[in-house]
Structure 1
Amino acid sequence: MLDYHLLQGQRLKLDRMKETDILEIATWYEDEEFLRNLDAIPSFPKRETEIEKWINNKQHNTYTMAIRVNDSKKIIGYVEFDGILWNHRNSSMSIAIGGNNRGNGFGKEALELALKFAFHELNLHRIQLTVFEYNHRAISLYEKIGFTKEGSHREFLERDGRRYDMHLYGLLRHEWIGNQ
């Protein structure tokens, strides 16, 4: 039987990004914890025009979705499948929860919805992601969901005078189905 609630969970829904989301997303890019967990580039706020350009990116190998709370429809984060290699059914992914929404279990539900979409709707075989070694909450979540650490780029970035590894994680469709 088909699952018609592919993008909706108990508390969250994955949805398209909207122009009205730009102002909220811009506030996340003023949060150093958010920035330092998300990217290796220097932690510096993004302009609204940069966020708008990213939202309007319409490449055939990228899916960017807002994470919204069911009741309020408020955006609390996003998930992105990027660099999809359709012939190999592989994709990189990233997930980000903004503002004071971290630590409430939203990441787990959003990640489960995103993987359901990736494996059942996009028919992907492999999802990969990267995470910095100091992002312990994300590492714990990825491993709990079933991602396998496949390696590390040693001393990949420097923050506050210290070098940190960037870990590489992967999840195969049959591994994810076996964990359901």
Structure 2
Amino acid sequence: MVVLRVAKEAEFSDIVDWVNEHDSDFMVQWAGLTYQYPLTVEQMKEHYRSGINTIETGVFLYMIQEDSLSDDVVGTIQIARINMETREAVIGRFMMKSEKLRGHGTGRAALEEAVRIGFEELGLERIKLNVFDINERAIRCYKSVGFKEGTIRINVYTSTKGIVWNNIEMTMDKDFWKQNRGMY
């Protein structure tokens, strides 16, 4: 059973290490154009200067653990841009720390838990996420949990290899989730 626990600022250095094991294009996939490569703890502290893990800050940053019996962290995911007036938020900064952890269902389970937290604990009515069209594995994961493709913004980013990326916004409504959970 995958467990999401709120991250501590002291764990920013772990996230920085995971991101910097990859190239600048990976960082853009993970965080959009928020940061300059290589990622630093200082950049993360500045980005989260209002704090984390409260409704007031509008962001909950979670560390992903494969089970409650182990302290081993295998990734990170956040629920951010929480708007209690519209009851919407965005899932992002979703990453498994190692390629060998991908493709085994841990990421899907973490996403399902983040969605559950959003709808049940935070009282959201809609959850969104953004994904680049070149990230087919992530798109399959998101669809497998029940997210639906929506708005596509074209020519959002050009990779270091000259490949143009488009952004796909995906959404899930609480009613759909309640009716279909566990069916995807």
- TM-score norm. by structure 2 comes to 0.82
- Which residue in 1 is equivalent to 2:31? 39
**Percent of matched pairs sharing the same residue:** 23
1 CA distance for matches of 2:102 and 2:45? 23
2 CA distance for matches of 1:123 and 1:102? 30
- Residues 104 and 37 from structure 1, CA distance in 2 versus in 1: closer, same or farther, beyond 3 angstroms? farther
- Which residue in 2 is equivalent to 1:24? 14
- Which residue in 1 is equivalent to 2:175? 174
1:124–1:173 contact (8 Å) kept in structure 2: yes
Deviation at 1:155, TM superposition (A): 1.4
- Which residue in 2 is equivalent to 1:6? none
Question: What do the CA deviations read for 1:66-102 (whole angstroms, capped 9, x no partner)?
Answer: 1123243122212211111101101111122222322
2 CA distance for matches of 1:51 and 1:40? 13
Question: Unmatched 5+ residue regions in structure 1?
Answer: 1-9
- TM-score norm. by structure 1 comes to 0.84
2:12–2:41 contact (8 Å) kept in structure 1: yes
> Mean Cα displacement is larger for which, 127-136 or 15-24?
15-24
Question: What do the CA deviations read for 1:111-157 (whole angstroms, capped 9, x no partner)?
Answer: 11111111111110000111000000110011111111112001111
2 CA distance for matches of 1:107 and 1:34? 17
- Residues 105 and 78 from structure 1, CA distance in 2 versus in 1: closer, same or farther, beyond 3 angstroms? same
Partner of 2:17, secondary structure, is helix
1 CA distance for matches of 2:112 and 2:84? 21
